[in-house]
């Protein structure tokens, strides 16, 4: 999605993520049965970052993730929001478990 088309800007320590739906079929054709339909995805692309947290002296603490990073996050921590027919997730950096490399 083009950056200019996004009408949401996270504030403070929040991060805006667009969820990526996982395939339920492996590359070799095996069907993966999930425990429940409609479960939230745990993978997404960072669309926008808020201004970040501040330390006790009021200095900003830089995020360790960047816009465009594909991340894995806690399943039930993010808040779902919908804007112009697209579903997004708002979460804190602490809810991100890992950055997917490559």
pLDDT tens figures, 40-50? 679 999 999 99
Does any domain span residue 84? Answer: yes
For every residue of the chain, DSSP letters joined together read --GGG------TTEEEEEE-PPPSB-TTSPBPPPSSTTPPPSEEEEEEE-S--B-TTS-B---SS-TT-EEEE-SSSSEEEEETTEEEEEEEGGGEEEEPP-
Does any domain span residue 36? Answer: no
pLDDT digits (tens, 9 = 90+) for 11-41: 999 999 998 876 666 777 776 755 555 666 7
Does pTM top 0.85 for this prediction?
no
Does any domain span residue 54? Answer: yes
Does any domain span residue 50? Answer: yes
- pLDDT grade for 9, boundaries at 50, 70 and 90: very high
CATH number at residue 47: 2.30.33.40
Does any domain span residue 102? Answer: yes
Residue 12 and residue 45: Cα distance in Å, rounded?
Answer: 19
Determine contact, residues 71/96, Cβ cutoff 8 Å: yes
Does any domain span residue 35? Answer: no
Determine contact, residues 90/44, Cβ cutoff 8 Å: no
Instruction: Determine the structural domain holding residue 95 and report its residue range.
Output: 41-102
Does any domain span residue 28? Answer: no
Does any domain span residue 4? Answer: no
Q: How many domains does the chain have?
A: 1
**Distances 99 to 22, 36, 46, 77 between C-alpha atoms, Å:** 16, 25, 10, 17
């Amino acid at each position: 999605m083009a950056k200019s088309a996004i009408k949401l800007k996270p504030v403070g320590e929040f991060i805006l993520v667009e969820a990526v739906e996982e395939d339920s079929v492996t590359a070799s054709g095996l069907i993966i049965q999930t425990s429940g339909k409609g479960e939230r995805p745990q993978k997404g692309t960072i669309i926008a970052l808020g201004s970040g947290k501040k330390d006790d002296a009021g200095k900003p603490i830089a995020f360790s993730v960047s816009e465009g990073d594909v991340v894995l996050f806690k399943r039930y921590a993010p808040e779902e929001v919908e804007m112009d027919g697209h579903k997004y997730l708002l979460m804190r950096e602490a809810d991100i478990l890992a950055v997917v490399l490559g």
